[in-house]
Amino acid sequence: MRGFYMKNKCLESDILRFLILLGSATIASSLLFITAGNSSNCAIFYMLAIFLISRYTTGYIWGILGSVIGVIAVNYFFTYPYMEIDFLRDGYPITFSGMLTVSLITTTTATHLNTQKQDALNREQMLEKINHFNNHLLSAKNKEEMLNLSISFLSELNHADVLFVPNEYQNDSFSNDTDNHFSEVYTDVNDPVIKEYIKTTLDKNELMTLEREEIYYTFLPISSSVHKWGTLVLYSKQPQTNQMELNRLMIPQLSLSLEHYSLIEHHQTLLMDSEKEKMRSNLLRAISHDLRTPLTGIIGSSSTYLEAKEYLDETNKDKLIHGILEDANWLLNMVENLLTITKISQETALVKKVPEPIEEVVSEALMRFQKRYPKSKVIVKIPDEFLMVPMDATLIEQVIINLLENAVKHSNTIKPTEFTVETKQSEVSFSIKDYGQGIPENRLASIFDGSPISTNDKNDRKKGMGIGLTICKTIILAHQGRILASNHPTGTIFSFYLPIEGGDSYENK
């Protein structure tokens, strides 16, 4: 109905312009004939009118019709005998044939120029639409958004319902969910024609147009040299022939965008695999270091006790047993760390985050830490406001315990450790500050990669930071946070940051 209305309106406009221009030429010629008594220039007005008719109407018919009517009008109104049609007087056939020929040539030229202008305008509009479409594709965040955007765009362009049929069809589809007045939402592939296409032609990747029971179908396959994603199906009661060229141009743009996004996904997967492999190597190196030293101590102390117990007094025996107990507790703590990290999926590095009150998480972590190190002093500063942060509470408690434990064991000071929690815009910071010997500057950049820190202290050589900090980094990254280490004038600060907004599962970037 919309197309029929537009055609009628265009026809009415052409008729009106045709009558006005011919009428104006007749009036002008009459005025010239009356005032000057000269009819030789009357044909010029009609030729000008014919040129304007050809220029401002659609198609060739109006110019040709104007040429015939102009020749007849000049003969009837302004050629002797007046008010009669007579093409047989001496010289008249040649004169009027020449006038008709010139008029037709003028009409053809003007119409052709008009057609070229309209074609150029159509191409410009097509390029604008394609550019608009490409800009939207570039802003899309994933493949599903690209497909939904294409469905909406094609639906509006063709005034048709649009459905995406994946190449590996499994009764799922992306349907047009726009709220325009000319398109209904397509939610399932129940149409028999589309079902037939899926069974017979989907894998062939062929562009097709069909007409069944006054319904027109256009099948636009989306593919590249590497992938075949599926087919966009246009479905309406009107053929989509007017926009077919634009449809053909849009589909390659969509294919290129999908291919580009696939390459980005593949690149990100490779980077993530590389990061996982690097972290796995660091973990193995840290485990080998942190397991070997306490095990060596346990073996050495137990061997000494068994072989020389008759020569040892009670004090030395207690010292050996205390060393064995200390090393065993260290191994137990390391096993807890390893069990903690297994909560993070090895394939996707995801954690389940739910809003947790900061005060309770910090309190629980400090309680567990104090049981291990009852003589350690920790000064805690947390905001007075009630603060909820999305996290896996057990994992974050383990991070806090690991960082506090490192501060106590490696700072070599009796000064208390400061633990501060602050809100900073869209994130919360947790800082553990000690007043010890600090970390060598050349080790700060790689402190979280699992490499132990070598110092001159015997206890530090025995139990390096190793695996603990690597696990801390893994946990914080899985929360989409960040962790840093830095020195201050009298010690070291370990800080990690968690985003305030967000829940459910987040991917480790």
What was the pLDDT predicted at 507? 41
Q: What residues contact 235, with CB distance under 8 A and at least 6 apart?
A: 160, 161, 162, 163, 186, 191, 194, 215, 216, 217
Of 165-179, 295-309, 361-375, least confident by mean pLDDT is: 165-179
CB 64 within 8 Å of CB 112: no
Positive/negative CA dihedral, 448, 449, 452, 454 = negative
Positive/negative CA dihedral, 412, 418, 424, 429 = positive
Measured CA to CA, the distance from residue 99 to residue 93 in angstroms comes to: 10
What was the pLDDT predicted at 455? 44
What was the pLDDT predicted at 422? 93
Q: What is the pLDDT of residues 26-68, one digit of tens each?
A: 898 888 888 877 677 787 888 888 878 877 887 778 877 887 8
The domains of the chain, with CATH numbers, are 2-134 (no CATH), 140-239 (3.30.450.40), 270-507 (3.30.565.10)
Measured CA to CA, the distance from residue 157 to residue 175 in angstroms comes to: 16
Under the banding of pLDDT at 50, 70 and 90, the label for residue 492 is very high
CB 209 within 8 Å of CB 216: yes
Among 77-81, 275-279, 317-321, which range has the highest average pLDDT? 317-321
* Residue predicted with more confidence, 66 or 422: 422
Measured CA to CA, the distance from residue 139 to residue 356 in angstroms comes to: 34
Of 152-156, 170-174, 370-374, 486-490, least confident by mean pLDDT is: 170-174
Measured CA to CA, the distance from residue 303 to residue 22 in angstroms comes to: 121
What was the pLDDT predicted at 350? 60
In the block, residue with structure tokens 């994946």:
166
Q: Quick one: tokens of 411?
A: 């700072």
Strand boundaries in 71-212, DSSP class E: 161-166, 208-212
What was the pLDDT predicted at 213? 77
In the block, residue with structure tokens 């040539």:
105
In the block, residue with structure tokens 């509009």:
125
What was the pLDDT predicted at 270? 87
Strand boundaries in 363-403, DSSP class E: 378-381, 388-391
Amino acid (1-letter code) at residue 127: L
Positive/negative CA dihedral, 23, 28, 29, 35 = positive
Under the banding of pLDDT at 50, 70 and 90, the label for residue 349 is low
